[in-house]
A and B are shown apart, each in its own frame.
Chain A
Amino acid sequence: GNSVTQMEGPVTLSEEAFLTINCTYTATGYPSLFWYVQYPGEGLQLLLKATKADDKGSNKGFEATYRKETTSFHLEKGSVQVSDSAVYFCALSRSGGSNYKLTFGKGTLLTVNP
């Protein structure tokens, strides 16, 4: 079955530090990959996505590249801000067909200190 393995947290960084949150997946076929973010007290928001191999998703300074050869979708940001403090979830869905269930990783709590 499908699964997502995310880097365990929590992660604590100083402002302007470089961020990497690792994510690897197991899936049949060619899934779409997502990063969702959950700010304190809020629901999930889509941060970025990639739908095929070698695609790079980007948003708000965050990037992730769909690597089929390593089945990975690591999240990176060159310079984090205090406002980036949140829980980040890696997720996948099987592309096509009628099955649009998302499989989530366990989430990584990021805290950015000023």
Chain B
Amino acid sequence: SAVISQKPSRDICQRGTSLTIQCQVDSQVTMMFWYRQQPGQSLTLIATANQGSEATYESGFVIDKFPISRPNLTFSTLTVSNMSPEDSSIYLCSVRDRSMNTGELFFGEGSRLTVL
């Protein structure tokens, strides 16, 4: 298993500002994933962050709104840019267990953002 730490755990932000969420993993991983969980909804994949290359974004998500960095195999950041109240969500970082070829993911505790 992997231990994943996210910062901040929660924040209240003003409309129009940007916030960067950090994700630190206790082991080296190839792929890191960023999910969004809007209030009362399921999880939606935003993008896959690979070390040494640009992130791959899912339909409906763009780099200008959600820039991602992946400077090494244990760390990634997700920035939520020019925030609006619709961006109020829990943002979760996750990684795959490299020892298992089953697609199982481990998740951080999430960063709960409220945009006023």
How far does the Cβ of B48 sit from chain A's closest Cβ, in whole Å? 7
B42 touches A106 (CB 8 A): yes
A77 within 8 A of B: no
How far does the Cβ of A98 sit from chain B's closest Cβ, in whole Å? 8
A25 within 8 A of B: no
Q: How many of chain B's residues touch chain A, expressed as a range?
A: 20 to 34
A100 touches B105 (CB 8 A): yes
CA distance A106 to B107 in the complex (A): 17
A101 touches B45 (CB 8 A): yes
Interface residues of B (CB under 8 A from A): 6, 31, 33, 41-43, 45, 48, 92, 94, 96, 101-110
List 27 A-B pairs, Cβ < 8 Å.
A32-B102, A32-B104, A36-B107, A42-B110, A43-B107, A43-B110, A44-B43, A44-B92, A46-B106, A51-B102, A89-B43, A93-B102, A93-B104, A93-B105, A95-B101, A95-B102, A100-B31, A100-B96, A100-B103, A100-B105, A102-B103, A104-B42, A104-B43, A105-B42, A106-B41, A106-B42, A107-B41
If A44-B107, A93-B104 are given as contacts, then 12 extra A-B residue pairs at C-beta distance below 8 Å, sorted by A number, are A32-B102, A43-B109, A43-B110, A45-B107, A46-B104, A46-B105, A93-B102, A93-B103, A95-B101, A100-B31, A101-B45, A106-B42
A interface secondary structure, majority: strand
Q: Which residues in window 10-65 of A have CB below 8 A to B?
A: 31-32, 34, 36, 42-46, 49, 51
A43 touches B104 (CB 8 A): no
| CB-nearest residue of chain A to B111 | A43
